[in-house]
Structure 1
């Protein structure tokens, strides 16, 4: 089949887990014999006047990376305007794929969209080529904000997600909890939703047994620095952990809008010297931290899946994770890691203490987590299941959609440091 994948992230432009997911999926589909074109974007700061669309083939995937139109929109300040401009550029590049003379004429059998940021180009291109639209919804705006969409931009993003979900001919979510969330938020007239887990290439993550070592325990968090990731709960638990395990440190890897708030929170809990922010880590550096930490702590309050849980399992890092969303499905409590309820600081503290008190049992769970990856999270399986969705997708009859129902509620009181 000829597949046009539309994503606002694709290497070398990687913002989070979505970019890595799309990259692995695209290359695995290509290796299975499908013709794959990925329509994505060039790094922020390029423009179409001096940096034309960049087309190249990598790992059997034709990547069409569009440059920004000449404008002054910034994602953090003009998110919807920036997104619409990107979508316009992607649409032009996608239509050009089917034009003889511009290049070898190529028309897809299906368009696969990844998240709301590409709703406009994906819907337009599926309509232009008259082919089914498959959409993977990696997260929701309501989920990211504890169920509320009270702000103007929040409502706009929610509406785009609703539109993409209802315009699609098939939907994919990465976990059962995300399927339920999408159904509740965007139903009742949605197409069929298939649950296909994220995958991992275990060959790129060298497994290492925990080695006995001296010195204080080291905890690690990896991910975006946002409220829904629950890092504030790990910081709140650290003073309690240090009472029974003196000297314990927490290293926080990643970037995000809440970094200054988290720094202040560490000062308030009097653990500022024990909390280190190291920013985004490259693959080799991340692997080194995973090998060196006594445990990785993933305290998300909202998590559609959590790819870092798979990466940590592949590297052999003992897992301590909340049961939020997909994490509750990725980590089997007591078998492949230890779990606690989202926002439960006492439960998080207890799980960390259990890991530090019994490293042999933690290592046994880490081995089980690694073994599970080759059975349940193999990219070959993910690609095969996704291919089945492509083949069964049929373009639905379109009806007027109207507008989504949005209930405005005040956000819960919390200091986000902004």
Structure 2
């Protein structure tokens, strides 16, 4: 099968968030199964080649003009994707399926489907409603919601990354139930294999080898709830005064959360590292005691899989995907998106480290079976062939 994937990010072009991992790993898994996979994405920087084959996957990095209106710039990107797709198809032959990811690539999918009649699959990784903290705003947010509706309308099949997200699509955009398949994200768990010295990793951030360590990984935005974790810290320090809380990520709430930590007198227990990736991030997962996911809205929660890949338990809010992924008291703890509840969850893990490690091992079993990219790829192929 010849497959075209459209994404505004990948690990081999521009990497912004979780979609980059999803698209890159899915493309590799599909290629391993013997399919011809082409990824159409943005040009990362002027020195990158416009075409490159990586791990068997064909990457088409497409340049396009900037625009003061972000949504118009996205449309420029889609036009560039379409031009590259047409040139590629005219040269090598017909594609069997086109697969667009999130609202940013909707127009590319729609224009190709209209002009060439290709089977179109659309994956929703989140909704604008959820990214806005469960709010309907006007302006560009309203325009983005229109693109999301349009993508769900014109696609032949829609993939949602959780049942919670599927229900959101049915509620907000009236997408019929029969049109949506739920396929979870995956993870390449072998990236988390190998031994490290946790004490050496902690020492880099002025954290003691015996200090209980909580890790938050994600955008520092209202949706992800970093402020809820900060507000939970005083309750935890009452019982574990040497606990440390490491925040990895950046975003509009970074200054607010750092200032909040200072105001409530817990800045000594926090470490704000900004954006991290690669082995530095993997080492943090492997060095921590637990991972906290206090999101107000979380369509899936790939950070949960990353924690489990490293064999760590999670404390996750019951908002969206985490409520489906986490088995309470088996591979983590479910809590409410409230500082008191978050503090309870972390304190419960700290009260019995042996049980916490057992939960982490159970999480590792889950990612090796249910959340393997080869399993995910088989499910996606079923949608392609439907």
Alignment of 1:245-324 (within 5 A): 245-324=240-319
Q: Which consecutive unaligned segments of at least 5 residues does structure 2 have?
A: 200-207
For 1:232, the equivalent position in structure 2 comes to 227
2:92 is the alignment partner of 1:97 = no
Pairwise CA distance, 1:195: 0.6
Q: CA contact under 8 A between 1:170 and 1:389: conserved in structure 2?
A: yes
Pairwise CA distance, 1:79: 2.0
For 1:134, the equivalent position in structure 2 comes to 121
Instruction: Map Cα deviations across residues 190-242 of structure 1 (whole Å, 9 max, x no partner).
Output: 76110111111111112769989854321110111111001100000001100
| 1:62–1:164 CA distance, 2 compared to 1 (3 A) | same
- C-alpha separation in 1, matches of 2:353 and 2:176: 50
For 2:55, the equivalent position in structure 1 comes to 59
Q: Which consecutive unaligned segments of at least 5 residues does structure 1 have?
A: 393-418
Pairwise CA distance, 1:339: 1.2
Pairwise CA distance, 1:150: 2.1
Which is worse superposed, 146-155 or 352-361? 146-155
- SS of residue in 2 equivalent to 1:244: coil
- C-alpha separation in 2, matches of 1:197 and 1:182: 16
- C-alpha separation in 2, matches of 1:145 and 1:56: 36
- SS of residue in 1 equivalent to 2:233: helix
For 1:119, the equivalent position in structure 2 comes to 106
Instruction: Map Cα deviations across residues 219-268 of structure 1 (whole Å, 9 max, x no partner).
Output: 11011111100110000000110011102221100122221121222122
Alignment of 1:15-414 (within 5 A): 15-43=16-44, 46=46, 54-69=50-65, 71-73=66-68, 78-99=69-90, 104-189=91-176, 192-206=179-193, 214-341=209-336, 343-392=337-386
Pairwise CA distance, 1:353: 0.8
Q: CA contact under 8 A between 1:320 and 1:339: conserved in structure 2?
A: yes
For 1:405, the equivalent position in structure 2 comes to none
Pairwise CA distance, 1:384: 0.6
Q: CA contact under 8 A between 2:312 and 2:363: conserved in structure 1?
A: no
Pairwise CA distance, 1:63: 0.7
Pairwise CA distance, 1:273: 2.4
| Superposition TM-score, scaled by structure 1 size | 0.86
Q: Which has the higher helix share?
A: 2
Pairwise CA distance, 1:378: 1.2
- C-alpha separation in 1, matches of 2:368 and 2:101: 25
- C-alpha separation in 2, matches of 1:211 and 1:303: 29
- C-alpha separation in 1, matches of 2:295 and 2:197: 25
- C-alpha separation in 1, matches of 2:191 and 2:134: 36
- C-alpha separation in 2, matches of 1:129 and 1:59: 29
- C-alpha separation in 1, matches of 2:260 and 2:340: 17
